[in-house]
Amino acid sequence: MYKKALKNSDTELSKEDFIFVIRSILEMDINSLMLIINESEKPESGIPVWIVVYIKALLSDIKRGKADLLKYSLELMFGKPTNEINVATKIQNEYNFHFDIKLFNTDELLIIDELFRKVKERTKNMIY
């Protein structure tokens, strides 16, 4: 059946075309999306099934207050977001210990930052 569908298909959707359609759908208001769903129920509509499924999934997410499909779509269009910390300074503590922060990855820098915040907060409360 799959081979027959491919053989009878006279269109090829490029990745760019696919992303354009998804982006266009994401920019539509809910009423426009509902019109497409209603139109798709007519046998002669010719609306591809993947568009109908995508819109229904998007509307379902909206109804549930979720953003899963939106997040996935944005990652498809723009790539996964990076959480990169760019720091060009050296950290020195009271023991005169130096280290180059370029040796650490983002997760490690976030841990170091949290540790320094804790130390700073605790030293505020210390009596000398």
pLDDT band at 102 (very low <50, low <70, confident <90, very high): confident
Q: What is the pLDDT of residues 43-92, one digit of tens each?
A: 888 888 899 999 999 999 988 888 888 888 888 888 877 766 565 555 55
Which two three-digit tokens encode residue 45? 């509509």
Cα 28 to Cα 80: distance, rounded to the nearest angstrom: 23
Cα 30 to Cα 37: distance, rounded to the nearest angstrom: 11
Query: Residue 62: CB partners within 8 Å, gap ≥ 6?
Result: 30
Residues 102, 113: contact at Cβ < 8 Å? Answer: no
At 107, which amino acid appears? D
Q: What is the pLDDT of residues 7-35, one digit of tens each?
A: 555 667 788 888 899 999 999 999 999 99
